Structure 1
Amino acid sequence: MKPMKNPDQTRRSLLKATSGALLASTLPSMALAQQQEKRSFEPRPGNWRLFEVTTKVNLQKAGGTSMVWVPLPSVNTDWQRSLSSAWSGNAKNVRVEADSKYGAKYVIAEFDGSAPPVLEVVSRVQTQSRATDWSKTSSVRETPASLRKWMQPTDLMPLDGIVKVTAKQITEGARTDVEKVQRIFDWIIVTTYREPKVRGCGTGDVKAMLETRNFGGKCGDINALFVALCRAAGVPARDAYGIRLVPSAFGYKELSGNPASLKGAQHCRAEVYLRKHGWVAMDPADVGKVMRLETGTWIKDPDHPVVAPVRKALFGGWEGNWMAYNFAHDLKLPGSSTGKLGFLMYPQAETNGEAYDPLDPDAFKYTISAREI
Structure 2
Amino acid sequence: MTLDRRRCLRGVAAGTVSLLTPLWLRAQPTTPTAAHRPPMWAADAPWRAWTLTTTVEVRDPGRETQVWLPLPSLSTPWQQTVTHTFQTQGEARLRADGRYGAQMLHVRFARDERRPTVTLTTTVRTRDRASPWASPVARTAPALTAAERRFWLAPTEWLPTDGIVRKTALEAVGSARSDRARAERIYDWVVRNAWREPTTRGCGPGDIRTMLETGNLGGKCADINALFVGLCRSAGLPARDVYGVRVAPSAFGYRQLGAPSEQLSGAQHCRAEVWLEGAGWCAMDPADVTKVMRHEFLDWIRDPRDPRVEPVRQALFGGWEGNWVGWNMAHDLDLPGARGPRLPFLMYPVAEVDGERLDSYSPNDFRYRIVAARA
SS in 1 for 2:347: coil
CA distance in 1, matches of 2:284, 2:349: 25
Change (3 A) 1:126 1:253: same
- The structure where helix makes up a greater share of residues is 1
State the shift of 1:302 in Å: 1.4
Change (3 A) 1:362 1:305: farther
Identity %: 47
Change (3 A) 1:44 1:35: closer
Residue of structure 2 equivalent to 1:154: 156
Equivalent of 1:44, from 18, 24, 41?
41
Equivalent of 1:221, from 211, 220, 223?
223
CA contact (8 A) 2:56 2:368 kept: yes
CA distance in 2, matches of 1:286, 1:217: 12
Residue of structure 2 equivalent to 1:101: 99
CA contact (8 A) 2:59 2:364 kept: no
SS in 2 for 1:84: strand
Across the aligned residues of Structure 1 and Structure 2, the Cα RMSD in angstroms comes to 1.7
Tell which deviates more after alignment, 314-323 or 45-54: 45-54
CA distance in 2, matches of 1:76, 1:253: 28
Say which one has the larger Rg: 1
CA distance in 2, matches of 1:56, 1:35: 39
Equivalent of 1:112, from 110, 113, 116?
110
SS in 2 for 1:305: coil
SS in 2 for 1:54: strand
State the shift of 1:78 in Å: 1.0
CA contact (8 A) 1:151 1:234 kept: yes
CA distance in 1, matches of 2:69, 2:252: 31
CA contact (8 A) 1:159 1:228 kept: yes
Residue of structure 1 equivalent to 2:302: 300
CA contact (8 A) 1:259 1:371 kept: no
Displacement over 4 Å in runs of 4+: 35-38, 359-363
Higher-RCO chain (CA-CA 8 Å, sequence separation at least 6)? 2
State the shift of 1:337 in Å: 1.3
CA distance in 2, matches of 1:362, 1:266: 21
SS in 1 for 2:69: strand
What does 1:1-373 correspond to in 2, within 5 Å? Answer: 34=31, 39-42=36-39, 44-45=41-42, 46-91=45-90, 93-115=91-113, 116-134=115-133, 135=136, 136-360=138-362, 363-373=365-375
Amino acid at match of 1:39: H
Change (3 A) 1:356 1:35: closer
The two structures have a TM-score, normalised by structure 1, of 0.88
CA distance in 2, matches of 1:180, 1:129: 25
The two structures have a TM-score, normalised by structure 2, of 0.87
CA contact (8 A) 1:97 1:108 kept: yes
SS in 2 for 1:130: coil
Number of equivalent positions? 341
CA distance in 1, matches of 2:263, 2:351: 20
CA contact (8 A) 2:196 2:290 kept: yes
Residue of structure 2 equivalent to 1:24: none
CA distance in 1, matches of 2:148, 2:76: 14
State the shift of 1:305 in Å: 2.7
SS in 2 for 1:243: strand
